[in-house]
Structure 1
Amino acid sequence: MVVSAHPEATRIGLEVLRQGGNAYDAAVAVQFALAVALPVAGNIGGGGFVVYRAADGSVGALDFREKAPLAATRDMYLDAQGNVRAGLSTRGHLAAGVPGTVAGMVALHQKLGKLPWADLVRPAAELAAQGLQLTSKEAAGLNSVRPHMLSVNKHVPTYVHPEGRPWQPGDVIKYPELAAALGRIQQNGRAGFYQGETARLLLAEMQRGGGIISQADLDQYQPAWREPVRGRYRQYDIISMPPPSSGGVALLQMLQMLEPYNLGRLGWHSAAGVHLITEAERRVYADRATYLGDPDFGQVPVAQLLDAKYLKQRMQGVAPTSVATPSAQVTAGTGLPGYESDQTTHYSIVDAQGNAVSCTTTLNGGYGSLVVVQGAGFLLNNEMDDFSVKAGVPNMYGVIGGTANAIGPGKRMLSSMTPTIVTEKGQVCLVVGTPGGSTIITSVLQATLNVLEYGFDPQQAVAAPRLHHQWLPDHIDVEEGALSPAARTELERRGYKLNPRSPWGRIDMIERRHDGTLVGGADPRGDDTAAGY
């Protein structure tokens, strides 16, 4: 089964499985297909994370997160007075980190793939050349971003309609330059992106727009194999992404904080249940802001953050009947060693042998930095905004960061991506993840609890209205239909501020039932599609 953010990517991934490829082959094919079919987040100019569990029970995590260019400096987005210069870290050439996606897919394929590399990239290259029909969501997205894209680029990219009119649903969009770039990756692997013609075009684009990515950055970029973070929740084993993603640590913290309470008996989105989940979330996001960063650049106290005594102490005084704790009164936990020196996409894949892949990949904001590499046709990320541009100043998602996540040359920026696999009795049970910036962690938490605690099937679990709290700002984001009038009244009585918000996230989930049947859940908030055979 393949569940991804676009029907074409899902179709391509499933075809690879039908041809005898494994879950890792399908992941490579889906990644490149999303770079064509989902320009808002799919990419070769970004990065991401893979968590996998092989049929033999072995697990691993691949970090192909972008890096700060070697010319990056800690205060590069501040003016002479030390204030943040608006927009520099989110839009334009200076916002881009060194892309990791192609190197990551090459590493994944070399270690775990079966089918020839060229066969996995070819479907995406053909899709880019032949074109595909725009859905209503994609047409609306490209139309909304058109003026910004034209202001950032010195050329008119193929994402803008050649006749200058708005895109309509059903219009066929073709990407000849991207097709050629994918063709070079298909033929030459890593060298087809980080060297040769594509690298030349990328560096020319940097010069044109005052960016700082150099050939040395491209030559030196390496993805990193990491040990997943692991923990238990009731009878389930949780396998998730370690730093520089904050997602896995935060998810495990929240699940362990919530385990002592009977959420199932309290009921889905009951006032008492929402209260407990929110109190765990605000404490975890406070820890995230203080302690989490790139483990290659300093000590990240993962073991201490996941220590049972520490987590119990963090929830001291929180009971199903207690009132809200204002975030102003919540700080990061103490006694831990200090750190020293909303657009993404996700896909979940399980193959016939039982190998499972959970991959979250991103340009950061929608359409990244909006910079399209002239002649190569791909969008660059604006991942530099995921650093703490200035300690204590929120990023584009409103998330506060500290010195642990300060900009440094060659450093990976902190992420919220939470690709996760859940097992029960040695068998894969859930494969889950989502885009959504800082809401990723809480969305994965809710979708997982929806299945494990409330008995939802995967489609119900991903479609259910969501809630989110991230410590600061101190309010609960509420999707329409997420709270009953009674729960809303009771939460407000307890001191919670409720913030109505349009839908977020695109959760893609696979559940493996006890009889081995695979059941997919594709988020109706997007064009997400589940397919299996």
Structure 2
Amino acid sequence: MRYSILAVLFTLTACHSAPSTPPASPLNYDPEAATGLTQKTGVFAHHYMVSAATPAAAQAGAEILAQGGSAADAAVAVQAMLTLTEPQSSGIGGGGFILYWDAATKQLYTIDARETAPQAATPDLFLDENGQPPQHFMAAVTGGRSVGTPGALRGLELAQQRWGKLPWEELFTTTITKAEQGFVVSPRLQRLLEIEMSPGLLELSPGKEYFYPDGKPLQAGTIKRNPELAHTLRLIAKGGADAFYHGELAELIAQAVQQSQLHPGRLQAADLANYEAIVRAPVCVEYRVYDVCGMPPPSSGGITILQMLGMLEHFPMAELDVNSAAAIHYFTQASRLAFADRDRYIGDPAFTDVPVAEMLDRDYLKRRAALISEQDMGRATAGEFAAYAYADGVTPELPSTTHFSIVDGEGNIFAMTSSIEMGFGSAVMVGGFLLNNQLTDFSLVPEVDGVPVANRVEPGKRPRSSMAPVMIFNDQGQPIHALGSPGGARIINYVAQTIIALLDWDLDMQAAIDLPHVTNLNGVTALEQGTTLEALADDLRQRGHEIRIQDLNSGLHGITILPDGRLFGGADPRREGQVIGDPAH
């Protein structure tokens, strides 16, 4: 590896950078013809940029950067605005993972702001009186039982205290004003409410009154005020994250969980008071001439993507046509093998001895790659590591999350994937925001055939996640790409496919994000509905794949740092996100 690990106030890792040419699409790739998706235009900027999931959030972050704020300052403003304008996906009632590139010291940091299980939670949390998990997974999701201790604010505060430049209180002003005056309801929010993405939302107050006034879902184009959130953010702006984790607000959160009308939970005010965000060393691998870095456990996203790249390095991906049947076949097989290891071994490193070094060992990944043939391998089995014996713990991680990428005027980079888990989280609402249902990211059963599941529920434990913010460095140690996506467990495939598009197929960030998706989580090969990938179904079936055509609703947001110092950003056409930067010169 071309990076070193240093020990200072934070554990940190120095990494490397990007391609020497501006983004360009290969001659054999026509984005308009190849996707079947509504196109967005990538954005150039000179000094700073924000790519986020709603226009209001991107604008809030850009305003902070225009005032001379840092990427860490802008991130606080972006997440505050997403709490208001994209309540179904993330917010201060959830958690997330942060990658931060410090341009002054040329160091990459990661911050784990993942939720934790309450101290009163036990491995049987989701089991019935007969020791059985719920017959229907959705029965575990809604209500207080699924709520973990939120971590997003502590993580953002940790980053802003170290790398921020503006006063904390100023970072919430725009969102407070918009919450009081009202924001414009988006078509996406209306659509998700219409399909009743969260059945519990129709049953739990005050959420049902907020999202379904007069019994009808909020309508796109209408103005929605949220004075309760404005009040909450005023408290946090004045008192810091402590105003959330201590005192009246913490008591209200605990009370809402414990007194939920659906499945009362075990979260207590003491769980909030004791929560800490954790700085961890990134995980990185060399991929061709690049270093790709991501989050370590309890996120499975970083390791699983890096395993896939470590296997695909043994295949001529750059020589294959963009999204060709051969390329998709190799991609899905690497994903099968990586997901087999993920499901068996990855959990909270404070509770489970995760074999990170063994899983990313180059010789090990070469041996795993040798298992890939020209035919689909069927269900892959995990690799065997002598000192580790954990059972598979597969859970249906649900696809509502957000990702934003930020570059400030000094070259600092902030990439955060943030979530409340399912659309509208647990449906428990307090203080104008929704609480997460992240405890369902644990395995609902604590053991399989008498063998403990690595990702079982335990007090104070962080559930495994697929969130995967990523930064990519060139062989000179310079950052060139920052990206990530929502999408539940499919995040891993969305981000990995985008990396291949950037590094092997030389697509620019927007074209890479636009690329039609394929996923395989060690099961069915899913091809994105309504795109040109549908035409490959028969070819892949002949290779042995079980094919499903379906919606693959990513929400990728990424930024490229060009060799001339300009920025180029992309936002996913599948959602309503936007890229905003200062005008390029």
Shorter-chain-normalised TM-score: which range? over 0.9
Pairwise CA distance, 1:338: 1.6
| Aligned counterparts of 2:212 and 2:528: Cα–Cα separation in 1 | 36
The aligned counterpart of 1:398 is: none
Q: 1:25-64 deviations in whole A, cap 9, x for unaligned?
A: 1111111111111001121100000011111311100000
Secondary structure of the residue that 2:253 maps to in structure 1?
A: helix
Task: Kindly indicate whether residue 298 of structure 2 is the aligned counterpart of residue 244 of structure 1.
Answer: yes
Residue identity opposite 1:354 in structure 2: G
Q: How many residues align?
A: 518
The aligned counterpart of 1:396 is: none
CA contact (8 A) 1:297 1:340 kept: no
| Aligned counterparts of 1:505 and 1:131: Cα–Cα separation in 2 | 27
Gaps of 5+ in 2: 1-48, 392-398
Secondary structure of the residue that 2:420 maps to in structure 1?
A: strand
Which residue, out of 542, 551, 556, partners 1:493? 542
| Aligned counterparts of 1:35 and 1:158: Cα–Cα separation in 2 | 17
The aligned counterpart of 1:384 is: 439
The aligned counterpart of 2:62 is: 14
Q: 1:190-234 deviations in whole A, cap 9, x for unaligned?
A: 221112221122122123212211011011111101011111111
Pairwise CA distance, 1:151: 4.2
Secondary structure of the residue that 1:297 maps to in structure 2?
A: coil
Identity %: 38
Q: 1:125-179 deviations in whole A, cap 9, x for unaligned?
A: 2221111111211222234338834544244555324344332221001111111
Residue identity opposite 1:20 in structure 2: G
CA contact (8 A) 1:289 1:402 kept: no
The aligned counterpart of 2:213 is: 162
Which residue, out of 307, 319, 325, partners 1:253? 307
Residue identity opposite 1:459 in structure 2: Q
CA contact (8 A) 2:428 2:434 kept: yes
CA contact (8 A) 2:115 2:150 kept: yes
The aligned counterpart of 2:336 is: 282
Residue identity opposite 1:480 in structure 2: G
Task: Kindly indicate whether residue 86 of structure 2 is the aligned counterpart of residue 32 of structure 1.
Answer: no
Residue identity opposite 2:313 in structure 1: E
| Aligned counterparts of 2:527 and 2:150: Cα–Cα separation in 1 | 32
The aligned counterpart of 2:427 is: 370
**Given the two structures, how large is their TM-score scaled by the length of structure 2?**
0.85
| Aligned counterparts of 1:256 and 1:479: Cα–Cα separation in 2 | 29
CA contact (8 A) 1:290 1:402 kept: no
Shifted more, 140-149 versus 252-261: the winner is 140-149
Map 1:244-393; keep pairs closer than 5 Å.
244-319=298-373, 322-327=374-379, 330-338=380-388, 342-373=399-430, 376-390=431-445
The aligned counterpart of 1:397 is: none
Task: Kindly indicate whether residue 466 of structure 2 is the aligned counterpart of residue 409 of structure 1.
Answer: no
The aligned counterpart of 1:106 is: 157
Q: Label 1:43 to 1:484 Cα distance change in 2 as closer, same or farther (>3 A).
A: closer
Q: Label 1:146 to 1:436 Cα distance change in 2 as closer, same or farther (>3 A).
A: closer
Q: Label 1:197 to 1:391 Cα distance change in 2 as closer, same or farther (>3 A).
A: closer
Task: Kindly indicate whether residue 100 of structure 2 is the aligned counterpart of residue 52 of structure 1.
Answer: yes
Q: CA RMSD in A?
A: 1.9
The aligned counterpart of 1:468 is: 519
Gaps of 5+ in 1: 394-400
Q: 1:3-26 deviations in whole A, cap 9, x for unaligned?
A: 000000000100100000011111
Q: Label 1:360 to 1:150 Cα distance change in 2 as closer, same or farther (>3 A).
A: closer
CA contact (8 A) 2:509 2:568 kept: yes
| Aligned counterparts of 1:359 and 1:156: Cα–Cα separation in 2 | 26
The aligned counterpart of 2:229 is: 178
| Aligned counterparts of 1:3 and 1:256: Cα–Cα separation in 2 | 28
User: Which of the pair has the greater relative contact order for Cα pairs under 8 Å at 6+ separation?
Assistant: 2
| Aligned counterparts of 2:423 and 2:311: Cα–Cα separation in 1 | 33
Secondary structure of the residue that 1:369 maps to in structure 2?
A: coil
CA contact (8 A) 2:52 2:404 kept: yes
Q: Label 1:298 to 1:196 Cα distance change in 2 as closer, same or farther (>3 A).
A: same
CA contact (8 A) 1:36 1:124 kept: yes
| Aligned counterparts of 1:157 and 1:92: Cα–Cα separation in 2 | 13
Which residue, out of 41, 50, 58, partners 2:89? 41
Shifted more, 457-466 versus 8-17: the winner is 457-466
Q: Label 1:457 to 1:356 Cα distance change in 2 as closer, same or farther (>3 A).
A: same
Q: Label 1:392 to 1:479 Cα distance change in 2 as closer, same or farther (>3 A).
A: farther
| Aligned counterparts of 2:163 and 2:529: Cα–Cα separation in 1 | 39
Task: Kindly indicate whether residue 126 of structure 2 is the aligned counterpart of residue 77 of structure 1.
Answer: yes
The aligned counterpart of 2:172 is: 121
